[in-house]
Structures are given as structure tokens and as C-alpha cells.
Amino acid sequence: MMEEVKVVLYGVGAVGELIARFLLEKQGVKIVGAVDVAEDKVGKDLGVVLGLNKKLGIIVSKDAASALSNVGADVVIHTTTSYLRETYPQIVSIVKRRANVISTCEELSYPYYSEPKLAEKLDALAKKHGVTILGTGINPGFLMDTLVITLTAVCQKIEKIEVMRVLNAATRRLSFQKKIGVGLTVEEFKEKIACKQITGHVGLEQSIAMIADALSWKLDVIKAEAVQPVIANKTVENNLVKVEAGKVSGLRQTVRGLIEGREIIRLDFQAYIDAKEEYDAITIQGVPTVKQKIQPCIHGDMGTVAIVVNSIPKVLKAPAGLLTMKDLPVPSAALGDLRNHVSTLKQSDSK
Amino acid sequence: MMEEVKVVLYGVGAVGELIARFLLEKQGVKIVGAVDVAEDKVGKDLGVVLGLNKKLGIIVSKDAASALSNVGADVVIHTTTSYLRETYPQIVSIVKRRANVISTCEELSYPYYSEPKLAEKLDALAKKHGVTILGTGINPGFLMDTLVITLTAVCQKIEKIEVMRVLNAATRRLSFQKKIGVGLTVEEFKEKIACKQITGHVGLEQSIAMIADALSWKLDVIKAEAVQPVIANKTVENNLVKVEAGKVSGLRQTVRGLIEGREIIRLDFQAYIDAKEEYDAITIQGVPTVKQKIQPCIHGDMGTVAIVVNSIPKVLKAPAGLLTMKDLPVPSAALGDLRNHVSTLKQSDSK
């Protein structure tokens, strides 16, 4: 049997920590390095950072170059920030060390939309070094794009696509709640959104662009509506925050893809405390019409951890270059020993 | 722009006819030949066979070899029968003419289960001739396998998978209704099932085997329960048949995948006249649990026509050999000109 798959974690924040815990449980894979900039993590053993009762012999390093040196990483799981402009040099440094990259950077899920030049450079660099770069996660990366694309396969014609994700923010971590403005006054919310102090959900434009690309739809424009606060109509409370009536309990974002003024893709994302009905719904108006619903919605962090780790075998076997989820084989859970999934994937021999 | 994709139809029965009509509407693709054994079709122009008001200049041939000669087919759409033992020589004859094959032969959707030796031979032959063979359709091929596999991608762990397809047979063609025993007495139904005069739905075992393969689950056994008739409790009627109370209005089939006696995959297929609620439901018990429902269910023939034609670009770009849906990139609708979808697919260059 092949050697264990060697992984370096680039980013040991909220999501990186969850991925680390999951990888430690899995067979056929080994964490061989960890990178983070947080002062309370740098220099500590990864086991200590994760709050485990044991040391793992992996010291969290501030310096990516040294963490990646001489460890022979097969893949680097990159979980730092949402914007490709910021993550670009980090990803370049990984690719130059000839490791494959799986990143939760939201813009990287479909980088051709907001950063086509950086995407082109990454693609060339990855091909030069013989590695694959993939941006993924539950959203963007799956629920509002890859799964939508998959369902279009049953359609002969399509008029319009509508996707809704509604989640109860009370079930999510504090940093997510902050990102969506929970507890702010409406005025504070609008200010912080305007000056980008809070971002809301990043990735809806990328999801629309990926769907359009898969369908060969040439959109004239992808239009993001102003982010709307959801207002608590009574005081709501969870173990992390208390939101008084009249304050912001979360947000609603709508992004639309248009051709000649006609809306043909609409993504609607809603995340707020105490959302009564949580779901992921896809409606494809076409021949035939498809009405699909996942209820309750998939938990963001749990799903992202799964998708990232489940992508490892496909990325290891993929052609070199910058890929998106739609370019890879049908996604699937890499249950049990990760090596079994690497060895059973079909080779990508050309015809 | 590349030339139009040239298609030969091998089988111009109920599904083949629907595919032909859809292809005739589509840009970037051209029907260049047609094969069928039905005496009322052989020797006639395809346009006449389809009931169109015009001739297409394509004569339906009984002889596949001659229909495939000198037409330069890129892909043959093969829609004859459900069992690989019967379709094997037909597929061999296509592959030897160096055309790719997309077939609705149910066993071919995952041929390694019932016909591993034939599968091995087809794979070797396809590689020798540099073409791809794919078995697909709405079911097997998508609703109870590929879509299930796709949804597992959000899971870290999986305990059990349950899939249900419930459809109102009144919306389906007569040949389908006959296949599921509509209008028979219970005794007739049991006799005809026992002597395989009617088959019910073919492909549940293949779907389970494909799911298990994608997840690296080693099943001890795939167990088909006895096919159960659904009995009409009042007289039901549609434009094709009348079923008196007490007679068979359709059937229910359950197939289960077991490991050490524990059921970990269950597929439940129900098709009967007047089914009140039509749906395709997938439940994955795991971390996280996924509860998904498509309602109403996807119409079988409409979906099969879509999946078959939508698979053309992926098959043209796929590596040579016998593939299944899980080996191909994420499926999607090939809207508009088919050539756009061929040219934008990522090349399968190896690393």
C-alpha cells in the first residue's frame, strides 16, 4: 500500500482546527506541518493548540517556507482568508514547493470572476510545478454551485435557476456571527458593511459565475444587491450573544446573474439568529423543472471540513493546474483509509 | 469552431426516438446514422419514423456495421436492452469502429457488479481503440447513485444511506407500465416476475454497487427483496390502461447492501398508477446527516434523454476506457451549442 498522504495545514484558525481534528482521526493521512500567524499559536505544539491531551510533535510555525521544507507534503490545506489578493502569495509559496493546494479561500472557488489575471498566473505556475490547486468548501464550493450544476444534468432546457440557503446563525461559531453583524444596531450594520469591516458571506458571485460557466451561459452582469440586515422582532439569545428586539440578528444577501436584463440565476443567502426553518433549496425552471430541498440545511463548518478532506484523493489524482469543483470527478465522501480512495480513482490518461 | 458532433443512434425505440427529437433541436450536433431491428422502421427515413413532416436523409438500418461505416461517428447513442450479455456484441461492434459509446443499458451503468468479465473486456477494447464507453440514464445513472454519491461529499462519517424513488406510473409510457405489471392480477404478476416475462426496474443492484465503490465500502452482499405488487384499492384509470380494484397498479422493489449483516444502503423503488406523492428522496445518516428531497420526482424518460445528451461533451473529452458516471467530471446540462461544452472542458493531462 502507498505511504500515508502527508498534509500541511496552512492556517490553524476555526476551520483549520476542525480539519486538523478530523485528519487526526482518519487513517491513511498524516499531518506533517502547521502554519499560523496567531501569536498564541506560533511555537506551540499542534496538539496543545488543539487542546488535546498530547503533543503531536508538530510545532506551529509562523514561517510557511520553513514549515514546508523537507516534509514532503503531498497536499497543503490552506485556510486563511476569503480574498485571493491576500492569499495569492501564500498559495504561490506552496506551489513552488511542489505541493498540491486545497484552499477554503472563497474567491479561489471560482477565481476567474474577480481575479482572472491571478487565476491565469496560478494555473501556469501549478502546471509548471506539476501540482493541482483547488478552492472549495461547503459554500462556495458545493451547496450553491457544484450541487446546482449537478442537478442541471437532468435538464434538456433551463429558463432560470434559483438557490436559497437559510441558516440559523445561533448554531454557528462567534466569528461567523460577527461576520454577519449579529447584535449590531441597524446603523452600525450599514456602516460596517459600507466600510467592509464586516463582509457578510463571500462567494455568491463566484458561485453564479461557476454555474454560468458550466452551462455555457454568457452573463452580461452579476449583480449583488445591497446586503440587508435581518432585524430581531423580539429579544433572541443563544450561548454566544444576546440580540435585543430591533437590533440586527443576521443578514440576507441576494446576487443575480442577468442576460439582456433578464434574471436567469438568483442566489439568496440568509443567516440570522433563530431562523425557524433552515434549508438549502434549489429550483431549476426548465424541461423538466427540478425542485430540490435539503432540510435542515447543511452545517457550514461541518460540511466544509468534510468537503476539504474528501477532495484530497481527487486533487492528488487530478491533472496539474488550477481547477474548480466542476472540473473534478463527481465529489464523494472519502470514508475510511484515505489511500483506498486515491488508488481506486481512474487515471486521467488522455485519449 | 470545431465541426458538428456526429451521432449515430443505435436503437430507435421509445427512448431512442425522444433522444433523436432532442438532438434535432440542438445546435452543434448532427445525426449521421440510425440502427434498429423493428420491421416497421428498417429501411425508412428517420424523419418518417419519428413522425416528422420531413425526410432527414438517414435511412434506419438493420445492419449496424453498415450504418457505422464511413459516417465518422464521434459517438453512438445506444438504447436497446437492459442486459449487458445481450448488448455486449453490439457495443463491441461500435467500439471496433472507433466511436465513443453512451448507452442506456442498465447493467452497463455499473457493469462490474453483474458482468465483471465483460466489463474488463470492454475496458481493454475501448482503450485499444482509443474510445470511451459510458452507461448512463436517469436511473440507474443519476437519481439513485450519482446524486447520492455527490451528496456524500458533505459528510465526514456515514452510518447508512436510504434512497427512495416513488413515481406515478400513469405519467409514463405504456411499455413502462407493462414492465411493472400494471393491470395484471396478483397471480399473473407473480408468475411473470418469476419467469422474467416482466422485469420490473433493472439497475438497483448496479446503483448500490456504484455507491459502495465510490465510498470504498466492501459490501458482503447486495440483496434484492422479492418484487412486491402494489394493489389498486379502487379502480384507477388513465389514458393508457384501466386497473380494476384488486388488480396490480404497479410495483415496489427494495434492494439492500449489507456489511456483516447490517444494512448500510437501502434503495426503495415504487412505481404505480395514482401514486399520490411523487418524489426522489435521499437520506444519509452520518456526520452531518443529509435529508434531501426532489419533489415531484424527475420524469424518467425526460431525464434520461437529458442525461444521455448532456454526457456527450464529457465522454468526448474523457480518457479512453469503460467509465461510469462517478468517474466523469461533475455532470451538467450541455445547453445551447454542444460544441461550446466540448471546447471548455478541462483537458485530462496527467501530472
Q: Which residue of B has its CA nearest to A326?
A: B330
Choosing from B297, B314, B339, the residue where a domain stops is B297
Return the C-alpha cell found at B37.
Answer: 431491428
Q: Enter the C-alpha cell of residue B301.
A: 424518460
Instruction: Burial-class residue A195 by CB neighbours within 10 Å (0-12, 13-18, 19+).
Output: exposed
Same domain, B117 and B40: yes
Of B288, B320, B335, the CB nearest to A298: B288
Q: Using CB atoms, pick whichever of B143, B154, B156 lies closest to residue A142.
A: B154
- State yes or no: pLDDT of A318 exceeds 80: yes
Instruction: Give pLDDT, residue A88.
Output: 98
**Interface predicted TM-score (ipTM) over 0.95:** yes
Is the Cα dihedral B194, B198, B200, B201 positive or negative?
Answer: positive
Domain that holds residue A242: 146-297
Residues B292 and B169 in one domain: yes
Q: Omega of the bond prior to A140 within 30 degrees of 0, cis?
A: yes
Give the one of A22, A158, A346 whose C-beta lies nearest to B335's C-beta: A158
DSSP characters over A312-335: HHHHHHSPSEEE-GGGSB------
Residues B18 and B130 in one domain: yes
Using the predicted structure, report yes or no on whether residue A212 has a pLDDT greater than 80. yes
Q: Judge if A122 and A204 occupy the same domain.
A: no
Secondary structure class of B302 (helix, strand, coil): helix
**Chain B CA closest to residue A316:** B351
Whether the CB-CB separation of A156 and A286 falls below 8 Å is answered with yes
A251 lies in the same domain as A226: yes
* Closest CB from A153, A325, A332 relative to B307: A153
d(C-alpha B334, C-alpha B29), whole Å: 11
Say yes or no: A215 and A93 in one domain: no
How far is A296 from B178, CA to CA, in rounded Å? Answer: 39
Query: Which grid coordinates belong to A348?
Result: 486521467
**Please, what is the average pLDDT of chain A?**
95
User: Residue type at B38?
Assistant: A
List the grid coordinates of A50.
Answer: 488543539
Beta strands in chain A (DSSP E): 5-10, 29-35, 60-61, 75-78, 100-103, 132-135, 157-168, 221-224, 228-231, 236-237, 242-243, 248-259, 262-272, 279-287, 290-294, 321-323
User: β-strand B279-287 against B290-294: which pairing, if any?
Assistant: antiparallel
Of the three residues B266, B282, B297, the one that is the final residue of a domain is B297
> Is a pLDDT exceeding 60 seen at residue A350?
no
Same-domain status, A39 and A121: yes
CATH number at residue B89: 3.40.50.720
pLDDT grade, residue A237 (50/70/90)?
A: confident
C-alpha cell read off for B305: 434523454
Kindly state whether residues A288 and A233 are assigned to the same domain: yes
Instruction: Give dist(CA B251, CA B246) in Å, integer.
Output: 13
pLDDT (average), residues B40-52: 97
* Rounded Cα distance, B53 and A187, in Å: 66
| Range 227-246 of B in CB contact (< 8 A) with A | none
Band of the pLDDT at B126, cuts 50, 70, 90? very high
Please check whether residue B299 touches A, CB under 8 A: yes
Domain boundary among B273, B297, B321: B297
Does pTM surpass 0.90?
A: yes
Q: Are residues B151 and B95 in the same domain?
A: no
Q: Which residues 131-150 of chain A have a CB within 8 Å of chain B?
A: 131-132, 138, 142-143, 146-147, 149-150
What is the rounded average pLDDT of the residues B92-118?
97
Which 8-state DSSP code applies to residue A106?
Answer: G
Residues B274 and B160 in one domain: yes
* Residue where the block lists cell 443529509: B290
Pairing of strands B262-272, A5-10: unpaired
- Asked whether the beta carbons of residue A132 and residue B351 sit closer than 8 angstroms, the reply is yes
The count of structural domains within chain B is: 2
Q: Round to whole Å and give the CA distance between B64 and B305.
A: 22
The verdict on A293 and A306 lying in the same domain is no
Q: Are residues B342 and B228 in the same domain?
A: no
Q: Which of A342, A347, A344 is nearest to A27 (CA)?
A: A342
- Assign B350 a pLDDT band (cuts: 50, 70, 90): low
- Given a cut of 70, whether residue B37 has pLDDT beyond it is yes
What per-residue confidence (pLDDT) applies to B150?
Answer: 98
